[in-house]
């Protein structure tokens, strides 16, 4: 909101001051939280001053105007891929969602979904048969993953680069909506 009002991107210090003011947190805590925000696979985060305090579960870390934290249903299903019953249910739902796309765009959807799985740290080993194997292999080998825009342009080279990102996001959202519908059926 502040960036929009200023008409520019805030500097790191301005961002810290804004967050500190909005959430009534010390600037030191905000710096620590921003550093820890980009970590993945974190069981709990503790404040250096008090090892018993879990930063993510403290009241200061919650958005004041939301009572229930936002949950993304697709990601909730994917995080539980460990059980074979759940894995089969998810595989069937993804397969059905992909089959409900046009033949000429199916591979693009598959590649976009693969990037989505990597971006959201979804355990894609269980989904491997339905993912774009080229993207998965490159990611496993050297940690590189394409952006949605690059994937879209690979399958639609005649589209202008300026609109490719928006179209890729729209296609991924459509696929995730279909997937969500399939998961809700089961």
* Model pLDDT, residue 65: 44
Judge whether 20 and 27 are in contact, CB under 8 Å.
yes
The share of the chain scoring above pLDDT 70, in percent, equals 69
Reported as a single tens digit per residue, the pLDDT across 132-169 is 888 888 888 888 888 899 999 999 999 898 888 899 99
Spans of all domains in the chain: 2-61, 73-185
pTM over 0.75: no
Judge whether 45 and 56 are in contact, CB under 8 Å.
yes
State the DSSP code for 9.
P
* Model pLDDT, residue 70: 47
CB count within 10 Å of CB 178 equals 19
Query: How confident is the prediction for the chain on average, in pLDDT?
Result: 75
Of the two residues 183 and 41, the one the predictor is more confident about is 183
Of the two residues 180 and 47, the one the predictor is more confident about is 180
* Model pLDDT, residue 182: 82
Indicate if the pLDDT at residue 33 is higher than 60. yes
Judge whether 54 and 45 are in contact, CB under 8 Å.
yes
Indicate if the pLDDT at residue 111 is higher than 60. yes
Burial grade of 174 (CB within 10 A; 0-12, 13-18, 19 or more): middle
**pLDDT tier at 81 (50, 70, 90 boundaries)?**
very low
Indicate if the pLDDT at residue 62 is higher than 50. no
d(CA 152, CA 146): 10
Q: Which residues contact 48 (CB under 8 A, 6 or more apart)?
A: 32
Indicate if the pLDDT at residue 40 is higher than 60. no
Judge whether 180 and 96 are in contact, CB under 8 Å.
no
Q: Which residues contact 159 (CB under 8 A, 6 or more apart)?
A: 152, 153, 167
- Closest among 186, 183, 169 to 76, alpha carbons compared: 183
Question: Taking every pair of C-alpha atoms in the chain, what is the biggest distance, in angstroms?
Answer: 57
């Amino acid at each position: 909101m502040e960036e929009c009002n200023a008409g520019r991107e805030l500097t790191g210090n301005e961002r810290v001051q804004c967050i500190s003011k909005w959430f009534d947190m010390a600037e030191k805590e905000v710096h620590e939280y921003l550093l820890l925000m980009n970590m993945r696979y974190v069981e709990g985060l503790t404040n250096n001053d008090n090892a018993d305090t879990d930063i993510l579960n403290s009241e200061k870390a919650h958005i004041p105007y939301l009572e229930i934290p936002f949950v993304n249903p697709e990601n909730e299903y994917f995080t539980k891929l460990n059980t074979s019953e759940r894995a089969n249910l998810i595989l069937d739902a993804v397969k059905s969602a992909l089959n409900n796309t046009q033949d000429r765009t199916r591979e693009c959807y598959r590649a976009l979904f693969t990037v989505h799985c990597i971006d959201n740290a979804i355990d894609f080993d269980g989904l491997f048969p339905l993912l774009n194997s080229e993207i998965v292999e490159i990611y496993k080998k050297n940690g590189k993953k394409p952006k949605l825009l690059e994937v879209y342009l690979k399958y639609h080279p005649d589209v202008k680069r300026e609109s490719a990102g928006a179209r890729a996001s729209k296609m991924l959202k459509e696929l995730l909506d279909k997937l969500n519908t399939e998961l809700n059926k089961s």
